[in-house]
Structure 1
Amino acid sequence: MTAGVPAAGSSLVAQSRERSRRRGIDPERADPPVDLQGAELTEHLAGHRMAAALPVVEKILVSGVVSSGHLVAVADADGRLLWLYGDHGVRRRAERMAFVPGALWSDDAVGANAPGLALRHDVPIRVRGEEHFLAPAHSWSCSAAPVHDPQTGRVIGGIDVTGNDIAASAELLALVTATALLAEAELRSMPTGGARRLEVLGTLRPTLGGHGPLTGRHAEILVLLAAHPRGLSGGALAELLAAGRLDEVSIRAEVSRLRRVLGPDAVLSRPYRLVPGAVETDAARVAELLHTDVDAAVAAYPGPLLPASDSPGVADLREELDARVRAAALAAGSPRALRTWVAGPGREDPEAWRALGSLPGLSPAATSSARSVYRVLDNRLGA
């Protein structure tokens, strides 16, 4: 990490303010762009390497500064806030200037601020009060430091403390910088052999690459942890697995057995969460493809997620993914996507058959066949 630590009021802040004026950023605005929310933000978090830094951030920073009225933020390399820790009242105050997960606090987007400048210039930095370009941020001070990929040296994100004047003190900047260095050490210790593939779609026999078949319960736990990258407490995991029928002692025992399969360090505790890059599910791959290639997403979706599972948390994920794939297939207007859908999970989906039969460019035989199946299914459902 770069050794230099620019002080508040440095030339970097002045340069940033001049850039912001030239770009026409309104200093009175209170709505930095929030470009990721909901499912899209969850997916972004699930695959981000900065998740590996969270145990260090929580141990060093969160436990030490949140109780004194500060916020701790973890951002990606673009300056987008990913995770935010802080007391409810402080977070509510920060929401007024859109300092929330999913919001873009890059130097280009909102002008001078510590995480934005730390990422832009690859240096630890602190920004006090009115040095912020945005007026709504003038009552806050902050210190931030970048985090690098140990293999490539590239910046992959940053760590920030925001709060009162103490947040921009030399002592707190040193603590944030030390936390970033420890986070890089944590990343360096992560396995580099690639994620193990978990197959859970359209099968009654979930399998894990390098291991083989998994128990249904272990597959359910992995699917739920993959869907909640920030982690789940034992109680929350128990409720998602079997509402009211499991206790935290049972969860602890199941996770212990699961670690014998994955390795002792693949599942972290307090809360339970997967080490980033340890496991990749075929369900997550389909969800990712839906954003870029609908044909490929539908082709990669052989059927519902863990169809035999009665876990309420898994059932919700199953229904959501199935609905997303179906909606994408119908909306794409692609003969390939529709044919793949009706040949597999949507074989009894009358609306899909009707959409296929209405597509221009199909052969007369294919059109007639699709319309015939639609009439049969429609009559059956109407009977």
Structure 2
Amino acid sequence: MTAGTALPRGGALVAQSWERSRRKGIDPDRTDPLVDLQGADLAECRASHRMAAVLPLVEKVLVSGVVDSGHLVAVADADGRLLWLYGGRDVRTRAERMAFVAGALWSDEVVGANAPGLALQHDVALRVRGEEHFLAPAHSWSCSAAPVHDPVTGRVIGGIDVTGRDSAASDEMLALVKATALLAEGELRATASGVLVPDHSGGMGRRVEALGTHRPMLTGHGPLTLRHAEILVLLAAHPEGLTGGALAELLAEGRLDDVSVRAEISRLRRVLGAGSVGSRPYRLAPGHVETDADRVSALLDSDVGAAVKEYPGPLLPGSEAPGVVELRHELHARVRAAVLAGGSAANLRAWVNGPGRDDADAWSILARVPDLSSVERSSAVSMRRILDDRLGA
């Protein structure tokens, strides 16, 4: 197996990972991923890490059901470092040959495509099969992994992975890993440090983080429900205010009434505090809440590079609210147009290595940028061909 081998027939995240690994010069034949925690240092890290609190649940729900069938269960920190590993002696011995051991760093940045590394980097549950792994020693393994989030901040604090034979990447195994991660988050939420409470501080200047995430956040509060995030995004986009009927149509055309909207606004006020949302029409109090989408939109008029850096992905990608879908498409199109029109190598790199990773036009423009290194130009041309092949162009 060499770095010149064709890309596996995996998803976009795997293909992008392979290209990154090739550009970084990661040796696909390496058998020694970084093991940077051992002995007392590993024990200390384990004892202080929040994932330790969910180990009994992981053992009961996941470990007891899969290790007897020749699989490994790994619990990692947010950097992709394996902290705990469960499995039979034989399968653990096999895994040691590729340094899949406690204390090893299996991030995408270090070893290329693998399920725990990609799941943590992109904050999404996924699987990687056999030769989709960048490292050749991992080609006889498959894996499914899911991130675990802090229930207050919404940030990724670790991940859960099952590695083993082909069945480790089955639909059933991926679903089981995802369910275990959700149960782990519930366990964390039940602890004293994980209890969410309404904010009554006035909330001036708080920000809704809604770009590129299925877990919208509000600074000073923590995770928002998708419906509350949708309402805040829509009200922020209509500072003049919206009637209950208009807001209902933007949230769920023909499927929501004024009474339901009024109930959601009432719940939202309990989160944001009194005076946060005005009535008749519904509108946000000036300066009370901003959104990261508004920030990107404003930057597009003055600093495209900064706008691209602050645009991790589409607005509330999990939302099907008509008003949000329209705002999502509009902002994405504006950012893309600004990047392509400007022709800046730095902005194009940021775009194709982020939300524009599947943008064939952007890869083509990047390939024509003057003074580009031969390696980067070749990579850009290759990515354009890969995307063309995928689309049947």
TM-score normalised over the length of structure 1: 0.49
Q: Which has the larger radius of gyration?
A: 1
TM-score normalised over the length of structure 2: 0.48
